[in-house]
Structure formats: structure tokens, C-alpha cells
Amino acid sequence: MTKRIVLVGGGHTHLQLVEAFGKRPLAGWTIVLVSPERIVAYSGMAPGVVAGHYRPDDLEIDLERLCAAHDTEFRRARVVGIDRNARRAGLEDGSSIRYDLLSLDVGSVPATAGVAGAAENALPLKPIGHFLGGLDAILGTPKPRIVVVGGGPAGVEVALALRHRLRHAGHGAALSLVAAGPILEDLPAGVRRYFRSLLAQRHVQLIENAPVSAIAADAVHLEDGREIASDLTLLATGAAPPAWLARTGLQLSNGFVAVHPTLQTLTDPDIFAAGDCAEIVGIPRPKAGVFAVRAGPPLAANLRARAERRPLQPWSPQKKYLAVLATGPKHAVAVRGRFFVTGRWVWFWKDRIDRNWVRRFRP
Ligand SMILES: Cc1cc2nc3c(=O)[nH]c(=O)nc-3n(C[C@H](O)[C@H](O)[C@H](O)COP(=O)(O)OP(=O)(O)OC[C@H]3O[C@@H](n4cnc5c(N)ncnc54)[C@H](O)[C@@H]3O)c2cc1C
């Protein structure tokens, strides 16, 4: 019987693994990718769809086609548990899939702990495909009051993109951005100042240091008692771990799967994890696609090494990283460390990088 590497989730990291094992097959091993969606959308370009610069299908990667091109089995299913003794991943339909090596790249979900009504009354930005599917309804409602909850890069980008799109469509929507702390907390103060002034210029009401306590169908309630009327609430809150990870028996760190720098879980050397769903113990990094992308080559190398019984190499994601935030029109801000630059050229540069990324996985 051939041995089997099961890749759970078609996130940024696993896309690269499908490609890597397709280009350099692992003798005696079958690769299986398990994903609840056949089509995944690249999040980095999602604000561009909101702004009207891209069509939703510009972002799409067809996992089944990618797998077929790289001699990988595609299984459309959602993993809901792991039986480590039997070495099987349990699926939502009650069946299970056998693995010899297992890798998790299942992303994160918007944090809503303690926010009553969030699940019922807000549209989360993730899964991206679901969010973009709801866009027509947003843009079709005349003069809505829209509240974006979450002051990280995704929330800020989406608020500015919405303003751009609605203005072009002639909608004078009242748009608010609510952040539990300061906006763009992980970025330098100069970038925060830049975006505060941009949001003010674009008439996006910014409410900082205001944790949300509840989301109703027609309002967002803040912990300090304030209430913001809302016809539509978008949820761009920070990354939280998918709930089912807590039932896997794997050791967690802040709710995410705790891994060594080799990307092996602390609990089981044959189970790996990367991207948003993982946390390398002692090397905390923000939950950003850039780290999920960077994890691709070391994860591929270490899965291969484990399969071939060779020593694994530790990986330390770099501290400084490039963040590029679009500002609504075809204009963006690139940030690295304490430095940032702005301009239309930054948007076109990001556009090229993003399009190349999607094209790479469209065989
Ligand atoms: C609007 C928006 C814009 C963003 N822009 C940027 C940006 O410009 N730069 C940046 O660095 N970061 C950005 N981010 C953050 C970025 O999206 C995440 O950090 C990144 O997607 C994490 O990648 P990942 O590989 O961990 O998981 P994901 O890309 O989220 O992929 C996880 C996959 O796993 C699948 N999955 C989930 N659960 C299961 C399960 N139980 N079984 C099987 N499969 C499962 C999902 O269907 C999904 O396809 C943005 C986020 C949003 C919401």
C-alpha cells in the first residue's frame, strides 16, 4: 500500500505543496488535498473586488484542476477531527481518511468571542468566497449605513474600498469603522496617522478603542454604551482559531496548533501545521498571508524529509515583512519595518505580485 500525505485545507501554504510534490514527486507516496471548497479565492485581492478593480473570478483558484495538474488526489470534504491512534482524519459526513503524514493549513476565522449576535447579524470577511458572494446585496442597497468592525489591515482596506465603490456608484452611504484598540496596531505610528487622515478625508467615521459588545440587525453596540446604527455590519475582526482544533487533542497555543520551528506539532511528529492555524512556539508572528506563503518551502522540505526519514530543518519566519495596503482607488501603501511609501505605482506593483500568485496556481 502506498503511503499517504494528507494536506488539510487549500490555503496559501498548501497550494505550494501541491505544486512542489507535483514537480518533484515523492516515490511511494500519494498526496491528497482535502478542502470543503473546490474554488478558493485569494484574500489579498479581495479589497480590489470590493473597490471594483477586479471581477470575483480574477481571484479564484480551482483546487481540483490544480491537483489534477500535479498528480494529487483532491477530496472535497471538511475535516472535523483527528484520530491519532488510527491515523485517520475524520470528515464531516462521518467517514474518515487514512494518513501517514498529516498537514493542517486551515486558516483562521474572525474573532467574535463575547460579541452577542455577531454570527446572526454580521457578514464576516472570511471565507472570502462567501463574503464576495454577499457583495451584490451590499452594493444594491441604496444609501445604506454600513459599519465595518475590525481595525486591522483587512478592515481598513475593505472600508476604503467600499467607500471608493459606493462613491462611484453614486451612493452616499454612511460608513463607519470600529476598532477595539487603535487601528493597524501592528504597523508603525506614521502609517496609523496616514490612514486616520485618509479615512477622515473619505468621510469614513473612525471609532477607535471601542470594543463591540453586541451586533443587532440594525445597530452595533459598543462596550461603553454607544450604539451605531447599521443596515449592514461587516466583520473584519482579528484571527481566531477554528473551533474544531480544540477537539483534535493536539496541544494548542492561544487556541492555535502549537508547532516546533520544523512545523511539526508539539504533540505528534507526523502531524504538521502552518499558516494562520498554527503558532510556532516562541516565535509569535501576526496572522498574515505573507507568513502562510513563506511557510510553503520549509513545510514541503520537512514533510519530504520526514517521509524519507531524514533530519528536519527548523524555520524561523522573519520579523520584518512587507505589508501592502490598498487605499480604495488604484493607490496603495507599502510598509516594511518603520518605513512606508505610498503611490499609484505601489498599487500596480501589488497588482502584479497578486496576479502572478493566482496565475501560478491556475494550470
Ligand atoms: C479581506 C482580507 C484581505 C487580506 N489581505 C491580506 C494581505 O494583503 N496580505 C496578507 O499578508 N494577509 C492578508 N489577509 C490575511 C490572510 O488572508 C490570511 O492571513 C491568510 O489567508 C492565511 O492563509 P492560510 O493559508 O493560513 O489560510 P487560508 O488562506 O484562510 O486557507 C485556509 C483554507 O482551509 C480550508 N479549510 C478551513 N477549514 C477546513 C477544514 N476543517 N477542513 C478542510 N479545509 C478547511 C478553507 O476552506 C480555506 O480554503 C487578508 C485577509 C482578509 C480577510
Q: So what's the pLDDT on residue 142?
A: 61
Closest C-alpha to ligand 1, atom 37: 106
Contact 236, 273 (CB under 8 A): no
Q: Are 153 and 325 in contact (CB under 8 A)?
A: yes
Task: Please determine, for residue 292, whether its predicted confidence score (pLDDT) is greater than 80.
Answer: yes
Q: Ligand 1: distance of its center to the CA of 295 in Å?
A: 13
Residue type, 227: E
pLDDT at 205 over 70: yes
The CA angle 216-48-279, to the nearest 5 degrees, is 70
pLDDT at 107: 96
* φ/ψ of residue 310, rounded to 5: -105, 165
The yes-or-no verdict on residue 141 having pLDDT over 80 is no
pLDDT in tens, 73-93: 999 999 999 999 999 999 999
> At residue 324, what is the residue type?
V
Per-residue model confidence as pLDDT tens digits over 325-363: 999 999 999 999 999 999 999 999 999 999 999 999 998
pLDDT at 140 over 80: no
**Ligand 1 neighbourhood includes 9 CB (under 6 angstroms):** yes
Q: Which atom of ligand 1 is nearest to the CA of 324?
A: 8
What pTM was estimated for this model as a whole? Answer: 0.95
Given a cut of 70, is residue 188 above it in pLDDT?
yes
Q: Is the CB of 72 under 6 A from ligand 1?
A: no
Please give the distance, rounded to the nearest whole angstrom, from the Cα atom of residue 12 to the centre of ligand 1: 7
pLDDT at 244: 96
- Please give the distance, rounded to the nearest whole angstrom, from the Cα atom of residue 104 to the centre of ligand 1: 12
Q: Closest by alpha carbon to 164, among 124, 201, 118?
A: 201
At residue 108 the predicted structure's pLDDT band, cuts being 50, 70 and 90, is: very high
Assess whether the C-beta atom of 126 lies below 6 angstroms from ligand 1.
yes
How far apart (Å, rounded) are the C-alpha atoms in residues 305 and 263? 12
CA gap 228, 214 in Å, rounded:
11
CB of 44 shorter than 6 A to ligand 1: yes
C-alpha dihedral sign at 33, 35, 41, 43: negative
Measured by CA distance, the residue closest to atom 35 of ligand 1 is: 9
Residue 215 cell numbers, joined: 451586533
126: CB partners within 8 A, 6+ apart: 43, 107, 108, 109, 110
Cα(277) to centroid of ligand 1, in Å? 9
Higher local confidence (pLDDT), 136 or 237: 237
Residue 172, pLDDT score: 82
- For position 195, what pLDDT does the model report? 98
**Residue 114 CB partners (closer than 8 Å, separation 6+):** 213
Residue range 44-61: mean pLDDT, rounded: 95
Read off the C-alpha cell for 99. 494518513
Nearest to 287 by CA among 337, 241, 233: 241
Check pLDDT > 90 for residue 137: no
Query: How would you write 171-231 as a 3-class SS string?
Result: CCCEEEEECCCCCCCCCCHHHHHHHHHHHHHCCEEEECCCCEEEECCCEEEECCCCEEECC
Instruction: Kindly state the average pLDDT of the residues 105-115.
Output: 90
pLDDT at 145: 92
Q: How many CB atoms lie within 10 A of CB 209?
A: 13
Instruction: Please compute the mean of the pLDDT values over residues 280-301 and round it to a whole number.
Output: 95
What is the average per-residue pLDDT within 6-35? 97
Q: For residue 143, name the pLDDT band (cuts at 50, 70, 90).
A: low
| Euclidean distance between CA atoms 51 and 186, whole angstroms | 24
CB distance 269 to 247 below 8 Å = no
Closest residue CA from atom 53 of ligand 1:
125
What single DSSP character describes residue 168? H
Q: Report, as an integer, the average pLDDT of 312-328.
A: 94
Q: What is the pLDDT of residue 316?
A: 94
Does pLDDT of 136 surpass 80?
no
49, 66, 106, 346: residue to mutate for ligand 1 pocket, most atoms within 8 A of CB? 106
The per-residue pLDDT for 283 is 93
State the DSSP H helix or E strand holding residue 305, giving kind and residue range, or none if neither: helix 296-307
Do the beta carbons of residue 111 and residue 139 sit within 8 Å? no
**Mean pLDDT score, 30-56:** 96
Averaged pLDDT score across all residues of the chain: 95
- The pLDDT value recorded for residue 324 is 96
The pLDDT assigned to 296 comes to 98
Atom 6 in ligand 1: which residue has the minimum CA distance? Answer: 44
Span 156-161, average pLDDT: 98
Cβ of 107 closer than 6 Å to ligand 1, yes or no, is yes
Give 11: exposed, middle or buried? Use CB within 10 Å, 0-12, 13-18, 19+.
buried
What is the reported pLDDT for 86?
97
Residue 12 CB–ligand 1 contact under 6 Å: yes
294 lines ligand 1 (CB under 6 A): no
| Residue 201 CA, ligand 1 centroid: distance in Å | 31
DSSP-derived letter for residue 75 is E
Q: Which domains, ranges and CATH numbers included, belong to the chain?
A: 3-36+77-108+241-307 (3.50.50.60), 113-234 (3.50.50.60)
Mention every residue, 6+ apart, whose C-beta is less than 8 A from residue 319: 285
